[in-house]
Amino acid sequence: MCFALSGCVANRAYREKAPVLHEFAPETKLKYSMAFVEFDDVGEMFSKPSEIVVKDGKEQDNTELGQTIAEIERINRGEEGPDPVFVLFIHGWHNNASESSGNVWGFRSELQSLVEELAKRQPTGQPARPVMGIFLGWRGEATSLPVAKDFSFWNRKNAATRIPGAHLTEALRRIAIAAKSNPRAKCVVVGHSFGGLVMERTLTQAMVEMILEYREESDRIDKDLSEGKLDQETAARQRQNAEDKLQNRRPDLTVLLNEAGPATEAKEFLNFLVHQDIEFADSQNVRHPLFLSLTSTGDSATHIIFPVGQFLGKHGLNTRKYEEPDEFGETDQNHYFLHTTANSPRLVSHIVTPSTTAPSECNETKYRDFKLGDKTYYICPSAGARNKTPYWVLQIPTEFVPDHSTVFKPELRALLEAFMAPHLDVSPSVPAPAGGETPTQKAPPEIKLQRKQRPELKQTGQ
């Protein structure tokens, strides 16, 4: 009774009984899957030991994560069509995995639009590409009481900082590995608000580990080769294995929308990317984003409320002045602590602007252009930006996202499509060899995470 009167939102899983949904879009009847993996208020997955059983000598994992992985594997076997696309989403404040959550409906709507858009792009006669959405749920709403729920910002922010732990890392890594076990599959990760903070904390640490592992392995192969311990063929094979590990165990693109986390989170990763000379480029040397932080200029929560809250909540935390300006020209760590990544002007790398008001340089340097209604927009590198890493940081006009929470919009979809297009393009399948059972799976031209070319480094040093 007391619990109900207080309006507390239960700390429970909403999707235990049916974590994987098979649905179709209302108009076109195109199919998509939607799976849920839920975490409690301290970041533990809602799983029970009894959900993992051994049957006929085989382990059967009936947890939400287990069923999600099984569905990914089913789709990757090609049962629903070729070239699947997996989209993983983690929500923010005021949401959870229940049917009454606006983010569940927004995500569902995006999946329907994506499956329809991909079907339009397919050549005539080709089956539609399968789409699967994975919704990571946590207790983003602590109370349903009107007014009171609007004062739970700091309570929920604390919860969001508890979620990135071993269970979330396990879930993200297993999902990414399962999804990318098919070289033609694409995996896009999206985090909104506190969900962006959760995602950034988890994924940047995993990326650092992967990049360092790759580097260590490359150095070892080089050393062994020079010492004659390896022949050229073995070295090439080992190099390819290390390369595959790096390219095929990570999401193709991670998008953080109106992320409600301090820039100190991103800054450390940005430093790492700069020091390791990492770029994410295709065979034509066009650079693409691996991480994308997008914040609306109309987002009052991260523009105005967040710095005030950070200031008030700073307590005994000591930030420092840098002895010399950092890689991005900042001298005060406090600035990064008080502002979100996209609200730290020194970290901004690109702009989105209408073509009519775009600076002249934009015509030559633009990454991509796209239409919104009858208006053309450009995505261009920001002049004088010091952030040239594959972690792109942008502020976007209010026509794409008007405020903090309205992120599921056709307008934003148009912008995201511009970033996702290089990932969603596919090369034609190679026909099956004579007598072969399945068509040979050949990956489309890949955008690779790699170290920059050395000559370029020498030039910048001059």
**What letters, b where the CB count within 10 A reaches 16 and e where it falls short, cover 159-192?**
bbebbbeebbbebbbbbbbbbbebebbbbbbbbb
Identity of the residue numbered 151: F
Stretch that binds other proteins, among 82-90, 191-199, 316-324, 377-385 (CB under 8 A): 377-385
Q: Which member of 68, 334, 382, 389 binds other proteins (CB under 8 A)?
A: 382
Nearest alpha carbon to residue 137 among 5, 19, 3: 19
Q: How far is it, in rounded angstroms, from Cα 136 to Cα 42?
A: 14
* Complex with other proteins: residue 102 or 444, whichever CB lies closer: 102
Identity of the residue numbered 315: H
**297: contact with other proteins by CB under 8 A:** yes
Stretch that binds other proteins, among 159-167, 261-269, 382-390, 436-444 (CB under 8 A): 382-390
Q: How far is it, in rounded angstroms, from Cα 187 to Cα 165?
A: 21
* Complex with other proteins: residue 182 or 344, whichever CB lies closer: 344
* Complex with other proteins: residue 63 or 101, whichever CB lies closer: 101
Tokens of 1: 């009774």
Q: Which member of 47, 63, 103, 182 binds other proteins (CB under 8 A)?
A: 103
- The least CB distance from residue 32 to other proteins, in Å, is 8
**334: contact with other proteins by CB under 8 A:** no
* Complex with other proteins: residue 374 or 437, whichever CB lies closer: 374
Q: Which member of 131, 253, 351, 426 binds other proteins (CB under 8 A)?
A: 351
Q: How far is it, in rounded angstroms, from Cα 25 to Cα 390?
A: 34
CA angle in degrees (0–180, nearest 5) for 323-327-333: 50
Q: How far is it, in rounded angstroms, from Cα 261 to Cα 101?
A: 22
* Complex with other proteins: residue 43 or 196, whichever CB lies closer: 196
Q: Which residues, at least 6 apart from 208, have a Cβ–Cβ distance to it below 8 Å?
A: 269, 272
> H or E stretch including 169?
helix 166-179
**326: contact with other proteins by CB under 8 A:** no
Nearest alpha carbon to residue 235 among 247, 245, 223: 223
**367: contact with other proteins by CB under 8 A:** no
**372: contact with other proteins by CB under 8 A:** yes
**Is 48 in a helix, a strand, or coil?**
coil
- The least CB distance from residue 302 to other proteins, in Å, is 10
* Complex with other proteins: residue 33 or 63, whichever CB lies closer: 33
Kindly state the number of chain residues that form the binding site for other proteins, as judged by CB under 8 A.
62
Identity of the residue numbered 78: G
**247: contact with other proteins by CB under 8 A:** no
**345: contact with other proteins by CB under 8 A:** yes
- Please list every residue from 49 through 78 that binds other proteins, using CB under 8 A: none
**341: contact with other proteins by CB under 8 A:** no
Q: Which member of 59, 227, 374, 437 binds other proteins (CB under 8 A)?
A: 374
Q: Which member of 150, 170, 219, 222 binds other proteins (CB under 8 A)?
A: 150
> For helices 166-179 and 64-76, what crossing angle results, to 10°?
10
With tokens 């070319």, the residue in question is: 453
Q: Which member of 209, 216, 231, 403 binds other proteins (CB under 8 A)?
A: 403
Stretch that binds other proteins, among 6-14, 21-29, 167-175, 315-323 (CB under 8 A): 21-29
Q: How far is it, in rounded angstroms, from Cα 391 to Cα 266?
A: 9
**346: contact with other proteins by CB under 8 A:** yes
**186: contact with other proteins by CB under 8 A:** no
Identity of the residue numbered 305: I
**310: contact with other proteins by CB under 8 A:** no
47, 157, 378, 384, 417 from 366: Cα distances, Å: 47, 36, 6, 14, 16
* Complex with other proteins: residue 61 or 224, whichever CB lies closer: 61
**Sequential DSSP letters for 201-223:** HHHHHHHHHHHHHHHHHHHHHHH
> H or E stretch including 196?
helix 194-226
- Please list every residue from 23 through 42 that binds other proteins, using CB under 8 A: 23-27, 31, 33
Evaluate whether 197 touches 261 at the Cβ level (below 8 Å): yes
**324: contact with other proteins by CB under 8 A:** no
> H or E stretch including 173?
helix 166-179
Site string for other proteins, 104-143 (x = CB under 8 A): xxx-xx--xx------------------------------
Which parts of this chain interact with other proteins (CB under 8 A)? 20, 22-27, 31, 33, 79, 94, 99-106, 108-109, 112-113, 146-147, 150, 296-300, 303-304, 343, 345-346, 348, 351, 359, 361, 372-375, 382-385, 395, 398-399, 401-403, 405-406, 408-411, 413-414
